[in-house]
Chains A and B, each alone.
Chain A
Amino acid sequence: GQNIDQPTEMTATEGAIVQINCTYQTSGFNGLFWYQQHAGEAPTFLSYNVLDGLEEKGRFSSFLSRSKGYSYLLLKELQMKDSASYLCAVIDSNYQLIWGAGTKLIIKP
C-alpha cells in the first residue's frame, strides 16, 4: 500500500528553527508538495520538489531525497503565525496525489 508518515504534532519556540519530516512509500514518485493549513482554513501551497536537494523560499525551505523516500520542511525564524498544520503530499506513478495526515506545529512565545 501507499503510505506517508509525518509526526502528528511538534512544538517549537518563537524565533527558533524547526524541521518537519515526511517519509513516503508510494508506487512511483513524480513529485512532492508541502501545504500549510491554519485551523479551520483551506490548505495553501508552500513548496514543490521533484529533484533531490534543497529548495529555499524565504523563511521556508524544503528538502528531498528520492533514494531515501524522505523530505523535510524547514521553517526558520519562527513566528506565531506559523502555528498551523503542515501537509506532505506525494504524486505517485499514476499522477495521483497521496496525502499525509499532517503535522500540527505549535509555536510558543
Chain B
Amino acid sequence: IAGITQAPTSQILAAGRRMTLRCTQDMRHNAMYWYRQDLGLGLRLIHYSNTAGTTGKGEVPDGYSVSRANTDDFPLTLASAVPSQTSVYFCASSLVKGGTDTQYFGPGTRLTVL
C-alpha cells in the first residue's frame, strides 16, 4: 500500500441498508477525515479523528458514524442509507489535525442510494 486506499470504488445500495466504507493509510498519519463531495458544493467534512481512539463530528455528521481503533484504519458507516447520501466520499489524512498540514486524499468511493 502506498498512501491511502478506499474500498469499494463504487457501490449501489438500496435505501435502508447498512454500509461501511473502508479507508486505510500507511503513512502513519495521526489525523484522518471523511468528506463528501456533491456537484456544485465544496468538500464537506463528515467526521474526523485527531488520533487513534478519538473521533469528532464535522459539518454534516448526521446519518454517519466512524471509529478509529488503530492508526491506519478509519471506516465510515451509514447505519440506514437514504437517497440524500448519494455522493462521492473521500477519505483523507494528515500528519496532525488542523494547522497547516497538507491533507492527502484517497481515490474516493462513489455511492448511489436508491
Contacts and interface: CB of A to CB of B under 8 A. Distances in A.
Residue with the greatest number of chain A CB neighbours at <10 A, chosen from B40, B44, B105: B105
B95 to A, nearest CB: 13
Contact of B43 (A41, A45, A99): A99
A96 B33 CA distance: 11
A30 B100 contact: yes
A27 B40 CA distance: 23
A91 B40 contact: no
Interface in A1-51: 4, 8, 30-31, 33, 41-45, 48, 50
A85 to B, nearest CB: 10
**Would you call the interface of chain A mostly helix, strand, loop, or mixed?**
loop
A43 B44 CA distance: 13
Contact of B42 (A31, A42, A48, A100): A100
Contacts of A4: 42
A42 B108 contact: yes
A17 B40 CA distance: 25
B45 interface: yes
Nearest to B88: A40
A100 B43 CA distance: 8
A18 B102 CA distance: 24
Interface string B42-78: 1111000000000000000000000000000000000
Interface string A69-100: 00000000000000000010101001111111
Given A42-B106, A95-B97, 16 more contacts: A30-B100, A41-B108, A42-B90, A42-B105, A43-B90, A44-B105, A45-B102, A45-B104, A48-B102, A87-B43, A89-B43, A91-B98, A94-B98, A97-B98, A99-B42, A101-B41
Q: Which 8 A-B pairs rank lowest in CB-CB distance, beginning with the nearest? A: A95-B98, A99-B42, A42-B105, A99-B43, A101-B42, A45-B102, A31-B100, A43-B105
